[in-house]
Amino acid sequence: MIEALYNTLSYRGLFWLSVSIISYMTALWANKTCRGHPAAHPILITALLVSIGLYCSNTHVSDYQRAASLLHWLLGPVTVALALPIYRQWQKLRHYGWRLLVSIIFGGVLAPVSAWLTLFIFDTPSAIQFTMLAKSITTPLAMESSAQIGGIPALAAVFVIVTGIVGAVMASSMFALFNVRDRQAQGIALGTVAHAIGTAKAIQMGDDVAAMATLGLCVNGIFTALALPVVVGLFI
Q: Are residues 42 and 88 in the same domain?
A: no
pLDDT at residue 4 above 70? Answer: no
Task: Work out the number of other CB atoms within 10 angstroms of the CB of residue 157.
Answer: 20
**Per-residue H/E/C for 185-221:** HHHHHHHHHHHHHHHHHHHHHCHHHHHHHHHHHHHHH
Same domain for 113 and 50: no
The mean of the pLDDT values for the chain is 82
Average pLDDT in the 27-35 region?
A: 88
Q: How far is CA 80 from CA 22, 74, 87, 89, 98, in A?
A: 26, 10, 12, 16, 24
* pLDDT tens digits along 137-176: 877 788 888 888 888 888 888 888 888 888 888 888 899 9
- For 76-128, the pLDDT digits (tens) are 676 666 667 667 777 777 777 788 888 888 988 888 889 889 999 998 898 89
Q: Are residues 110 and 129 in the same domain?
A: yes
DSSP, collapsed to helix, strand or coil, labels residue 137 as coil
227 in the same domain as 112: yes
Q: Identify the domain boundary among 54, 73, 92.
A: 73
Q: Which residue, 34, 122, 24, 143, is CA-closest to 78?
A: 143
Domain assignment present for 105: yes
Would residue 203 count as lying in a domain? yes
Q: Are residues 103 and 144 in the same domain?
A: yes
Shared-domain flag, residues 110 and 148: yes
Note whether residue 96 is domain-resident.
yes
Residues 96 and 65 in one domain: no
198 part of a folded domain? yes
Same structural domain for residues 52 and 106? no
The per-residue pLDDT for 189 is: 92
How far is residue 2's CA from residue 13's CA, in Å, rounded to a whole number? 14
Q: How many domains does the chain have?
A: 2
Assess whether 28 and 95 both reside in one domain: no
End-of-domain residue from the set 10, 44, 73: 73
56 and 99 in a single domain? The answer is no
Q: How far is CA 189 from the centre of its chain?
A: 14
Q: Is residue 78 part of a domain?
A: no
The dihedral of CA 44, 41, 223, 72: what is its sign?
positive
Structural domain span for residue 144: 83-235
127 falls within a domain = yes
Task: Report, as an integer, the average pLDDT of 33-56.
Answer: 84
Q: Are 26 and 45 in contact (CB under 8 A)?
A: yes
Q: Is residue 50 part of a domain?
A: yes
Which of the 8 DSSP states describes residue 10?
A: S
According to the model, what pLDDT value does residue 13 have?
74
Residues 60 and 126 in one domain: no
Where among 73, 93, 121 does a domain terminate? 73
Same-domain pairing of 222 and 120 = yes
